[in-house]
Each structure stands twice: as C-alpha cells, then as structure tokens.
Amino acid sequence: MCDKEKLVGMLRLMYKIRFFEERAKKLYKAGMLSGNFLGALHSYIGEEAIAVGACSCLKKEDYILSTHRGHGHFIAKGGDLKRMLAELQGKETGYCKGRGGSMHLFDPKIGFLGGNGIVGGGIPIAIGTAFSSKYRGTEQVTVCFFGDGAATQGTFHESLNMASLWKLPAVFICENNLYAVTTPTLETISIPNIGDRASAYGIPGKVIDGNDILEVYQIVSEAVNRARSGEGPSLIECKTYRWDPHCFVIPETRAKDEMERWKTKDPIPRFEKKLLDGKIITDDDIKKMKSEVIKEIDEAEDFAKNSPLPDVEAFKEEVCAR
Ligand SMILES: Cc1ncc(C[n+]2csc(CCOP(=O)(O)OP(=O)(O)O)c2C)c(N)n1
Ligand SMILES: [Mg+2]
C-alpha cells in the first residue's frame, strides 16, 4: 500500500504529535502557557493515527480544516514545531504572531486553513474551500476533521447536504472519541454510527478503527481519490479515544477502567509492531527516531522560550486601524 520510506515517515509523524503534546502539556501545567488570552489546551494524545493516516493521503496543496483539538492535524500536514510552540505560548514568532494560540493555528502555505474554537465551525468553511477548488478546476481536495460533538451541529447536516448536491471534492472525517467534553456520544446521538448518516445525503459512509493507521490511510485514500476525480464527497467516522481530560481546566469524569482499556489500543505501538513484524524497521531505528524527534521538540522549546512577546501597541493598531 505504501513504500517503506512513507511508512517510516508516518511513524515519525505519530511520535512528533505524541511527544509534542506531552511537552505542551508539561509547559502548560508549569504555567508557561498561562493567562486567559491563551485559553485551553486540548490534547490529541491517543488519536494520532487519524491525523497522520489521513494527511498522508494528501498533497501539500490540498486543504485541511481542523478543530479546537488541532495540534495533531497541523503537525501531520507539515506544520513547523518551532513556530507552533511559539504560537501556543503567545510569542511574536508564532504562526499568528502569538495572536491566536493553540486553537488558531493557520498556515495557508501547507493548506492548513485553521483550527476553530467553534465546535462544527470548520465544516461550512470546508464547503467553501472545496467549492473554490472545483470552481477553479485545481483538483485540490479538502479534508475536514471534526468531533462527534460537532457531528450533531446544524453545520454538519447543512454542509453535507450541500457538498453532496454540488459533488464537492471534500472528505469529512469524524473523530469519534466517544465524548463531547464530559457528555458520552451514546447520550446525544440517536444511532450507533455517525458514518451511517452519510446515507441521508447519498454519499459513501464508512465506520472504521481510528486507532489503526493503515486502515485510516486506506479508507481516506479511497475517499480522496474519489473526491479528486470529481465523484464527490465522503464521510468517514473514525472510532477513537482521547487519553487526556477534555482540556486541562476540566476535571476528568470518565471511568478509570474505560480509560485503561483504551490505552491498550494505543495506535503507536500497534503501528510499531506492524513495521517491526514486517521487517521495515528495527528496535534501533525506533530508538533513533524517537531521540531525533525529542531533540526537535527541545529545539522548538528553546526557540519559543527565547522569542519575544508581541508588542501590545501593535495590537491596538491592528484592532483600531482602518
Ligand atoms: C458552538 C460551540 N458550542 C459549544 C462549545 C464548547 N465546547 C468546546 S469543545 C466541546 C466539545 C466538542 O466535542 P467533539 O466535537 O466531540 O470534539 P472533542 O473535544 O471530543 O475532540 C464543546 C461543547 C464550543 N466551543 N462551540
Ligand atoms: Mg468527541
């Protein structure tokens, strides 16, 4: 399905996300990412296979729309760790000059058209970008990530209807981590599978194991090819689980045994095992790769730490000018 280099690259990206999130958490908890301006930090740990599996099917010029839990999407689409961590810490060298923080990463150069603090807010934007590509005849595909909570927003239903009607080149990926903040999906969604809602819009719908990166890659590839060849959108529900609380200002409410059970389905060792069994990598390769990624994150931390905070006077000009 993929060559060796690609598979190893996918594992490296999963490490990047996991270790970046661990570092961001540590810094956040230590109070470095402090103050109301920066808001909450939503960890993507446990869900790495979805971002990496899906973005590995894309070209640089393809678009993705992300969520409040978007660090993994950003890294998987090629985001730079230094400027990213600087943004999380509100520094001038960050992607949005420290004005956006964790939920508002943005880089059109890599096709990353934003995280979003509004649940379900990225879905209608994806309709716009997909329409734009179709209208301009560029063959770009838009992948839109959103959670199970967002799948019950009106924006989801309106957008999927329109995407189907206009055969837009879009792939809707629902990351069903079984909760919206503390509310279980079972208490808010009337059918067992969000992917089955695709039939209401006459588009293909799949329900897959979001912790199996190769399954994500295969199913998203099919949907991306379909979109690129003008056959229209698809909906893919990836079942997964977040390991951390919703964010670090909201106490954990989930049952301990449920959390432990899901940790046994950790997508990273599962993929490592496949690559080891297939003799694609060795234990030494894994060790080396992990230390290279940690070094990259250390460098990002130094970069962010040594970067200046924005000039408050400039804020005033940006808000008041024109
Ligand atoms: C429109 C809107 N309603 C409510 C919120 C508060 N809120 C932030 S995250 C969240 C839950 C989102 O759940 P889900 O879509 O499943 O994503 P997850 O956090 O599980 O990744 C809610 C209700 C919001 N940000 N926007
Ligand atoms: Mg959720």
Q: What is the mean pLDDT of residues 287-295?
A: 98
Of 90-104, 143-157, 200-214, 231-245, where does mean pLDDT reach its minimum?
A: 90-104
Residues with CB under 6 A from ligand 1: 68-69, 117-119, 147-150, 177, 179-181, 246
Contact 29, 2 (CB under 8 A): no
Share of the chain above pLDDT 70, in %: 97
Whole-number Å distance between alpha carbons of 126 and 20: 27
Nearest to residue 151, comparing CAs of 127, 173, 125, 168?
A: 173
**CA-based diameter of the chain, in Å?**
61
- The minimum-distance atom of ligand 1 relative to the CA of 117 is 25
Contact 170, 235 (CB under 8 A): no
Output the residue whose Cα is nearest ligand 1's atom 11: 180
Q: What is the pLDDT of residue 36?
A: 37
CA distances from 63 to 128, 141, 233, 281, 304 (A): 11, 6, 14, 31, 27
Q: What is the mean pLDDT of residues 135-153?
A: 97
Please classify residue 256 by burial: count the beta carbons closer than 10 Å to its beta carbon, then call 0-12 exposed, 13-18 middle and 19+ buried. exposed
Q: How remote is the CA of residue 106 from the centroid of ligand 2, in Å?
A: 22
Q: What is the pLDDT of residue 322?
A: 56
Q: What is the pLDDT of residue 37?
A: 43
Q: What is the mean pLDDT of residues 136-163?
A: 98
Share the mean pLDDT of the chain: 95
Q: What is the mean pLDDT of residues 219-246?
A: 98
Q: How remote is the CA of residue 288 from the centroid of ligand 2, in Å?
A: 34
Residue 223 pLDDT class (50, 70, 90 cuts): very high
- Helix locations, the chain, DSSP H: 4-29, 48-55, 71-76, 81-88, 122-136, 154-165, 213-228, 256-263, 267-277, 283-305, 312-320
- The minimum-distance atom of ligand 1 relative to the CA of 147 is 15
Q: How remote is the CA of residue 20 from the centroid of ligand 1, in Å?
A: 22
Residue 109 pLDDT class (50, 70, 90 cuts): very high
- The minimum-distance atom of ligand 1 relative to the CA of 151 is 15
DSSP run (H or E) holding 205: strand 205-209
Residue 263: HSE in the Cβ half-sphere, 13 Å Cα cutoff: 8
Nearest-5° Cα angle at 217, 257 to 172: 85
Q: What is the pLDDT of residue 53?
A: 98
Query: Dihedral of the CA atoms 60, 71, 12, 266 (nearest 10)?
Result: -130
Quick check: 176 pLDDT over 50?
yes
Q: What is the mean pLDDT of residues 160-173?
A: 98
Any residues with CB less than 8 A from the CB of 273 and at least 6 apart, and which? none
Whole-number Å distance between alpha carbons of 185 and 134: 34
Quick check: 185 pLDDT over 50?
yes
Whole-number Å distance between alpha carbons of 315 and 135: 36
Quick check: 200 pLDDT over 60?
yes
Q: What is the mean pLDDT of residues 180-208?
A: 97
Structure confidence by residue, pLDDT tens digits, 57-99: 999 999 999 999 999 999 999 999 999 999 999 999 999 999 8
Please classify residue 303 by burial: count the beta carbons closer than 10 Å to its beta carbon, then call 0-12 exposed, 13-18 middle and 19+ buried. middle
- The minimum-distance atom of ligand 1 relative to the CA of 121 is 1
Q: What is the pLDDT of residue 38?
A: 61
Quick check: 35 pLDDT over 60?
no
Structure confidence by residue, pLDDT tens digits, 234-262: 999 999 999 999 998 889 999 999 999 99
